[in-house]
A and B are shown apart, each in its own frame.
Chain A
C-alpha cells in the first residue's frame, strides 16, 4: 500500500487479509490513473458527452434568501452517483476485471452501476436488501433493463448495510475477476479517497460558477450526508477556503432523541464498520444499530471517514434535518421553483431554508444531489394530494 488511507485518526483498511491484495491493486490502479492524462481525458469526455457535465448552478427565484442549487439532479442517471461510477468503471477495465458488483439501498447506486455495466460490457451484479427490492421494484426493473442481475439480500435487517456485507463477502471470493464498485466515499482505503476524487468535480464546477456569477465565494456550502460522497465532492474544493462554512446535513429521521434516525456523526461513536474507522451508530457493546430515514440514501449507520475527520477537526459542521423537515422542503422546492429533488437532497435544502429565514443575505450553496422521480410514489403516500 502506498498511502496509509487515513484522514486524521479515521479511515484505514479494516478488511479480512484475503482482500488486502485486491485493495492494494485498486489503490495502485487509482493512483497511477491520476498521473495518466489519457485516463483523465477519457473520463472527462464521458462526463461531458455521456453524463452531461457541467451541471448548472441555479439561483432559486422564489425561495427566501440567496440560495444556489448545484444541479446534480440533471446528471445522466439522475444523481451525482454517475460521476464516480464512470471513474471506477474505467479503473475496473484498466485492471482487467470483467465483472462488477455493487450494493444499493433504494437503487440509485445500483442503477448507476448498471449504467456503466451496460456501457462497458461488464457482467454486473447488484446486492440489494430484500426489503428494498420489494419497496423499489421500479429501480430493480431499471437495473434489469440495463442487463444487471439484482440479488436480494435476506440477512440482517435486509437493508443497505446488509447489502454491503454481502458484496464484501462476494468480493472475498471473486476479486480476481471482479471489481467491487462501492457507491459512496466510505469503506476501506482507497474507496473514500478515490470516490472523493471522482466526486470533487461537483465542488470544482460550483466554485468556478459562483465566482463567475457573484464575484465571490458563498458564505455557506451545504449538502446531505449519508455515506457522504456528494457532500465530500462538493466540499473538497472549498476546504481550503477558511471563510466558507461547510455544513453537512444528516438524516434526523423521526427525531434525534429516539433511535429512528441516520445521524451517525451527531449520535454515533467512533468505531469500525465496513473497513473504515469512523463514526458508527452502535450499542454499548459495539453491535451495529439499525438506522432510519425517509430517504434510503441517508439510511446508513456509518459515514465516510473524511467526514468524521472534518467533524472532529471542526472544519465542517454537521446538523440534522428530520423526515418531516425534508418532506416540507421537497414540497416547497416543487411548488416554488418547479424542481422535484431527491428526498436526500431535500435534507440539505431544509437546513438551507432555516438559515435563509434567519439570515436572508447569507449566500448559500446547496448540493442538489439527485432528482426526485424515484421518490414520487413515496411522496404521494406521505403527503397525499397537494392542497
Chain B
C-alpha cells in the first residue's frame, strides 16, 4: 500500500482529514529548511509537499515566489533538493512526501532522470504546476514507471472529460484548487463540493484542497465540502519567513481536521 493510501486509511479510521504542509526546499538555506521540515512534521503534518525552486513560477503568488528566490539566491540546486528530501525520508519513513515544481526543471534533467532521482530520494508524488492534463499523459506514464505518483490539479472550471482524464492519470491524491488565480493571494476560497463529488465519481485519488488555506475555518470548510485533506502553503512559508511560530500554526490548522473540531 502506498504511503498516501496508508495515511488516508489511518486518518479515516480516526475521522480526521489530512493536513499537508508545504515548504520551499532550501528556503532560506538548506539547514534552516531541514529544520522547518522537521518542525512541521513534529507539529502534526500528515503529509508534506516540498517545492523545488524555479526562477519563473507562474502559478505562484508573491509569498512562494519570494521563497523560491531566497532558495535560488542561497545557491540551492535541484540535486540539493533531492538530497534534502532523502534526509527527511531517512528520519520519517512513513510520511508521504510530494514534490511541487515546474516542467522546465524536469526536462532540463530529462524526465527519466528527474523521476528516478525523485523516487530514489524517497518522494512519493510529483505535481508539475504547468503540466495540465492535456499534456500529462506521457509524463504520468514515466512517473508511474519510476515509482512516483503523478498528482494533477483539478479546479471548479475543469470540464468533466478532463476530470475523468485526471482521475485516470493521478496517483496518491488529487490537488483541488479552491478558486481561480495563483497561490497565496487573499481572494476568497471556494471549496466546491461538486468538484469533490465529480472527482470521487470519476474514481480519482482522494481530493485535497490547496490555494488559500490559511485558517482553521478554511480547513473545516474544505473538509465539509468532502475533501480528504488540505494543503497549506503560503501561510506556513510566510510565517517561517517572518520568524513566526510555524509549529503553532501547523498545530492549530491540524487540529481543525478532526471530527470534534467542527463547531
Contact = CB atoms under 8 A, between A and B. Distances in A.
Interface in B110-142: 129-135
Contacts of A277: 107
B221 interface: no
A175 B180 CA distance: 9
Interface in A141-178: 155-156, 161-162, 165, 168-169, 172-176
Given A13-B134, A155-B65, A286 B104 contact: yes
A18 B155 contact: yes
B130 to A, nearest CB: 5
Interface in A50-77: none
A17 B104 contact: no
A168 B58 contact: yes
Given A1-B134, A20-B162, A271 B177 contact: no
**Chain A: interface size category:** 35 or more
Contacts of B177: 17-18
Contact of A286 (B109, B130, B153, B159): B109
A173 B178 CA distance: 12
Contacts of B187: 173
Given A17-B154, A165-B58, A173-B180, A271 B107 contact: yes
B1 interface: no
A78 interface: no
Contacts of A172: 58-59, 180-182
A287 interface: yes
A20 B159 CA distance: 9
Interface in A176-219: 176
Interface in B207-241: none
Given A172-B180, A173-B187, A285-B77, A14 B56 contact: no
Contacts of B72: 287
Contacts of A121: none
A287 B107 contact: no
Nearest to A161: B56
Interface in A16-31: 16-21
B130 A288 contact: no
A140 interface: no
B157 interface: yes
B185 interface: yes
A168 B129 CA distance: 13
Contacts of B55: 156, 287-288
B255 interface: no
A272 interface: yes
A277 B54 CA distance: 16
Contacts of A176: 180
B193 interface: no
A169 B57 CA distance: 9
Interface string B55-71: 11111111001000000
B105 interface: yes
B249 interface: no
B153 A156 contact: no
A341 to B, nearest CB: 31
B92 interface: no
A19 B131 CA distance: 11
Contacts of A16: 58-59, 129-130, 132, 153
Contacts of A13: 132, 134-135
Contacts of B162: 17, 20
26 contacts: A14-B130, A15-B130, A16-B58, A17-B155, A17-B162, A17-B166, A18-B155, A18-B181, A20-B132, A20-B162, A165-B57, A168-B58, A169-B59, A169-B182, A172-B58, A172-B181, A173-B182, A173-B185, A176-B180, A271-B104, A275-B130, A286-B105, A286-B107, A287-B72, A288-B55, A288-B56
Given A17-B162, A272-B103, A285-B109, 4 more contacts: A16-B132, A172-B59, A173-B185, A284-B108
